[in-house]
Amino acid sequence: MESIVNRTVAEIVAEDYKTADVFKKYGIDFCCGGHTSVSEVCDKKKINLSDLERELSRISLMATASNNFNGWELDFLIDYIITVHHSYVTENIPRIKGYADKVAKVHGHHYKEVVEIKTLFDNVAEELMQHMHKEENILFPFIKELVIAHDEKKSLRNIPFGTIHNPIRMMELEHENAGATFKMIVRISNDYTPPPEGCNTYNVLYSKLREFEEDLHKHIHLENNILFPKAIRLSDNVMRITSMREH
């Protein structure tokens, strides 16, 4: 990212909406007061310009490189999903909620759809947090146990949910529900198109919702299409070996 010293906050956010989270963290108004230069606002708020510039630069470096997910070991893939996608969801839910609350409060009387979008996102956010908790505390640890049992050629007993098909079926259903909710948000928001007179917060809300949905698609793809099918095959193999040893 080129030097930001003489650029306005509004210019930087307009160029890359992801920078809005950094400005919000530092208490910098990127909406109505966004036409102040970065150097001026840092002087006024006693913010270390180098720290701010460093955080903004990180945003431009966060483009995800292509990865051969299909070739990864399952325990490594699980750690990646938690570190990248679960962390993204956890960090961005409160941010989007904040933007949605503000837009609904300021513009909801005129644009009723933003109130509905806020409700839909609140609901899907709560469901996703519960969903990830179940994955991280029940399903994912069990898949890691399967990996160890397979690698060490050990038997596996005391499966709490009968078969791995049961929790995976539930996770896939919850994925479908989250996807359906975002389809409604896309429709209501006219494919994340803010009104021409929408403020910066309005624009950032829609951009963040689009980004969140795109991350969710990648997240669900890794689980539904790679992790879960391989975990089922691994489980069937380990259970078959366990059954043979018991007989």
What integer pLDDT is reported at residue 11 of this predicted model? Answer: 82
What integer pLDDT is reported at residue 63 of this predicted model? Answer: 42
| 32 DSSP assignment | T
- DSSP characters over 167-219: HHHHHHHHHHHHHHHHHHHHHHTTTT---TT--HHHHHHHHHHHHHHHHHHHH
Q: Which amino acid is at 35?
A: H
Q: pLDDT by residue (tens digit) across 27-70?
A: 887 765 667 899 999 999 999 999 998 888 877 655 444 467 88
Does the pLDDT value for residue 227 go beyond 80?
A: yes
Task: Enter the pTM of the model.
Answer: 0.74
What integer pLDDT is reported at residue 245 of this predicted model? Answer: 65
Q: How far is CA 12 from the centre of its chain?
A: 23
Q: pLDDT by residue (tens digit) across 79-110?
A: 999 999 999 999 999 999 999 999 999 988 88
Q: pLDDT by residue (tens digit) across 149-171?
A: 888 888 776 677 778 999 999 99
| 8 DSSP assignment | B
Give the separation between CA 134 and CA 167, rounded to whole angstroms.
Answer: 9
Least confident among 18-27, 103-112, 124-133? 18-27
Q: Which amino acid is at 136?
A: E
Q: Residues with Cβ < 8 Å from 120, sequence gap 6 or more?
A: 181, 184, 185, 188
Phi, psi of 17 (to 5 degrees): -60, -20
Q: Which amino acid is at 188?
A: I
